[in-house]
Amino acid sequence: MIPKLEVKDLSYSYHSMDGETKALSNISFSVHAGEFLAVVGPSGCGKSTLLSLICGLLKASEGSVLIDGKPMETGDSRIGYMLQKDHLFEWRTIFSNACLGLEIQRNLDEEGRERVRRLLETYGLEDFADARPSELSGGMRQRAALIRTLALEPDILLLDEPFSALDYQTRLAVCDDISTIIREQKKTAILVTHDLSEAVSAADRILILTKRPGRVKDTITIKFPDNAGSPLLRRNCPEFSSYFNEVWKVLREGGAS
């Protein structure tokens, strides 16, 4: 079976007046359709850089990114990117913010507007369609940002620390909320996070990177009972602590800090 996403021998270096700094070295992995992959590693190991390479914001020094077996194109509409901050514009309503991606792509027709309305209704923001971002909680804003991304109907979602700006209690609830939405939508997703508990509770597999230059240290497959389908339920399973300790051990052996 051809993977939905395949990263092959990807390397990247930053260049400055002080010379070359290698951020990533020979990264290879694949993600199948509908799979949720988490990426963890020490600070500065190139996790966010990896997402920027996958979506074409940065050009790799070496290697390639394939989607459905074919080279990824710059600006590929099959990839949706959700950043750390929600980047909702205060002068726009929530509905208008959720339509922004379609508007930028010049695809904001009545079908697109109806899709946004359905998503707002499905995920509990219908009553806030005419509200301004400042009227919403942090969790609701992140949900609106995800709807803005889902409205584009991407095949692959890239999530770069999307819960890091939230307080702990809200972070738990929003991770549970958004992970459930992604699985309901049957999206292929890659989550970059510093939070090992988040990675274990949300992902099907965890890709562990070494310290800079980032290399693939290990990949751990995560399996929970079928009745533990959400991150909050997974945190209560006995398997949770075992996976957490396994990931932590690999990170420590790789010199995580």
Task: Say if pTM beats, i.e. exceeds, 0.85.
Answer: yes
pLDDT at 195: 93
Instruction: Say how many C-beta atoms besides its own lie within 10 A of residue 230's C-beta.
Output: 16
Answer whether residue 229 shows pLDDT above 50: yes
- Percent of the chain exceeding pLDDT 70 equals 98
Q: Where are the beta strands (DSSP E) in the chain?
A: 5-16, 19-31, 36-40, 62-67, 70-71, 79-82, 156-160, 188-192, 205-209, 216-221
pLDDT digits (tens, 9 = 90+) for 55-87: 888 999 999 999 999 988 766 778 988 877 788
**What is d(CA 53, CA 79) in angstroms, rounded to the nearest whole number?**
12
pLDDT at 257: 43
Burial tier of 130 (Cβ tally within 10 Å: 0-12, 13-18, 19+): exposed
**CA atoms 251, 168, 165, 158: torsion sign:** positive
CA nearest 203: which of 238, 152, 159? 159
For residue 29, the 8-state DSSP code is E
Q: Are 129 and 95 in contact (CB under 8 A)?
A: yes
Provide the token pair at 153.
């109907």
pLDDT at 75: 63
- The mean pLDDT value of the chain amounts to 90
Answer whether residue 256 shows pLDDT above 60: no
Angle at 181 between CA 178 and CA 182, to 5 degrees: 90
